[in-house]
Amino acid sequence: MRILVINAGSSSVKLSVFDMPSGEQRFEHEMEKIASVEEAVAAIPALLREKNAAQVDAVGHRVAHGGMKFRDAVTLNAEVMADIKDCVPLAPLHNPPAIAGIAIAAETWPGVPQIAVFDTAFHQAMPARATTYAVPERWRDAGVRRYGFHGTSHQYMMERVAAELAMPASQFRLISCHLGNGASVCAINRGVSVDTSMGMTALEGLVMGTRSGDVDPGVFAYLNRTQALSPAEVEDALYHRSGLAALSGIGNDLRDIERRAAQKDARAELAIDVYAYRARKYIGAYAAAMGGVEALSFTAGIGENSALMRRRICEGLECLGIVLDHDANAAVKLEGFEAPQIQTADSRVKVLVTRTREQWMIARETHRLLSG
Ligand code: AMP
């Protein structure tokens, strides 16, 4: 079965074509800095024709927010589309491009099954103590709760770590760190996501490229009173003008920040320090939440490539049995889907680094759903 995977975001569209169940990738392409999702998706058939990959049997779409409704991937129809549209207020940046991508794909490949795979689905098993904000009941009834994101990536990490340790996921506790431009940590207790750092929206938790992660919610009223900023203006700044970019003053790319920090630039050093400290706090919290941890994994742009950040995050975690082998950490250079271990021989916790495979997971889920 040939499956086209479309991952339509606000500024880029990622495409892949896989033959399933072999998992062989036929085609991959990323359109960056796009003017409109509609135009980018409309250009897909010509791109596929060029590569002799225009004939597809199914299309899998990444959808960021599935709200309370979706615990699993689902075949798209009018009812499901309406439910995904209902989630737009929860993911105003992320769901609209996916919806546009789905609409165009349905026009382009009529009669070909379209499947939605949700970033929130893996976290639907989280217990109420992790999903509940202590806010008025009426707000909770209106959907104010924690959902979590990057579920496809965290689930893949769980499976990849299980394969590498030759142990079923039901036998270990994993803390999975997805550290890209968006970033989250997930506590996976014996195969089940029990907590994750992103909450109702993709703003909570870790410091990210341009997102603040955790801030005191009192910031909204304070800035309104003292600087006449509206909630929408504060929200926009927390999404787009915060995080590593705001702290460093030089942008959201950690490579540039690391270069400046090496020259003792104080803002770059602070950015790295705040980022690592926040991640370390979450790892400590999740070890406590699960009553222990056997494995820690790093993935996505920063997790896969920055030995410095992995080292800074793990500093002080020796008390949890997490001891990095600094040489092994510095030597990581991922080429494929290998998952090197970077802990010392006497570290109680295994520490792994590997590439995430969200596109492949979406193809796999699409194939699984369609083959019953
Ligand atoms: P992602 O969203 O997973 O593509 O991650 C993108 C981010 O990863 C970039 O903005 C960089 O901050 C970071 N990144 C990528 N490569 C490196 C590297 N070699 N060293 C440090 N950070 C990196």
Q: pLDDT by residue (tens digit) across 156-174? A: 999 999 999 999 999 999 9
Give CA 262 to chain center in angstroms. 28
What confidence score (pLDDT) does residue 48 get? 84
Closest CA to ligand 1's atom 7? 301
Q: How far apart are CA 76 and CA 332, in angstroms?
A: 40
Q: What topology is assigned to 2-118 in CATH? A: Nucleotidyltransferase; domain 5 (3.30.420)
Q: Considering the chain, what is the average pLDDT of its residues? A: 95
What confidence score (pLDDT) does residue 35 get? 84
Name residue 5's beta-bridge partners: 16, 60
**Catalytic-labelled residue, pool 19, 57, 86, 119:** 119
CA of 299 to the centre of ligand 1 (A): 10
User: Ligand 1: does its nearest atom lie under 6 Å from the Cβ of 12?
Assistant: no
CA of 253 to the centre of ligand 1 (A): 6
Told to judge if 256 belongs to the known catalytic residues of this protein, a careful annotator would answer no
For the chain, 372 residues long, the average pLDDT of each consecutive 10-residue run is 92 92 93 84 85 88 93 94 94 90 90 96 97 98 96 98 98 98 97 98 96 98 98 96 98 98 98 98 98 98 98 97 98 97 98 97 97 88
Helix (H, G, I), strand (E, B) or coil at 14: strand
How do strand 2-8 and strand 58-63 relate by DSSP bridges? parallel
CATH 3.30.420.40 domain residues, the chain: 2-118, 151-358
User: Ligand 1: does its nearest atom lie under 6 Å from the Cβ of 306?
Assistant: yes
Q: How far apart are CA 369 and CA 58, in angstroms?
A: 11
Homologous superfamily of 151-358? ATPase, nucleotide binding domain (3.30.420.40)
What confidence score (pLDDT) does residue 180 get? 96
User: Ligand 1: does its nearest atom lie under 6 Å from the Cβ of 300?
Assistant: yes
Q: How far apart are CA 167 and CA 159, in angstroms?
A: 10
The kind and range of the H/E element at 95 are helix 95-108
| Model pTM score | 0.96
Closest CA to ligand 1's atom 11? 253
Is the C-alpha dihedral spanning 232, 234, 237, 242 positive or negative?
A: negative
